[in-house]
Copies of this chain bind each other. A is one copy, B any other.
Amino acid sequence: MTPLGEQPAPAHAGEGEDLGLVDAMAQLSFLVHGALTEIAARHGLSIIQTRLLGVLRDRTPTMNELGRYLGLDKSSITGLVDRAQRRGLVTRTVSAVDRRAFLISITATGRHVGGQVAAQFAGHIETLAAGLSDADRRQLSRLASQLVAAGANAQAANQDATIG
């Protein structure tokens, strides 16, 4: 895993090494990302395909909107949806309002596969956290959520700066 260059744990590692916030975040990110990559791959999906299915779980966006949800260029969306459609995971429907636009929706198959990946991912995280006390789990959930919120705010602020 070794993300940005930390030392290997000392041989006499008593029990729980604290990596420090920065390395802990980096390594945790790689750990979770890698787990999701592997679980998704077991179902023939990439991470981005999995995220696509997640977004479509309760939305029917246009290609353009999809690009905003996933943070991708529209030219990337074409191929992404092409491949997903070829596998029967999503469908394109011409918009009734704008004949240029497609509405992308998830198929039953897509929903099924996406659900399986999500469930296995949840199981994996639970396994990883099995050693934590209930209080620690709540703490971790709360603190991680706070960082995510901070990140979302930073992104929103950036948007404003770009627009204004």
Contact = CB atoms under 8 A, between A and B. Distances in A.
Given A1-B152, A5-B54, A143 B143 contact: yes
Do most interface residues of chain A lie in helix, strand or loop, or is the interface mixed? helix
A11 interface: no
Contact of A148 (B28, B50, B132): B28
Interface string A1-27: 111110100000000111111101111
Which bucket holds chain A's interface residue count? 35 or more
Given A26-B36, A142-B18, A2 B147 contact: no
Contact of A146 (B1, B36, B132): B132
A3 B161 CA distance: 25
8 closest Cβ pairs, A-B complex: A5-B54, A29-B32, A24-B144, A5-B57, A140-B143, A21-B141, A4-B54, A31-B151
26 contacts: A1-B71, A1-B152, A2-B54, A3-B36, A3-B54, A4-B117, A4-B121, A5-B118, A16-B146, A17-B149, A19-B144, A21-B126, A21-B129, A24-B144, A25-B28, A25-B125, A26-B125, A28-B32, A31-B147, A128-B154, A129-B147, A130-B150, A131-B150, A139-B143, A140-B144, A140-B147
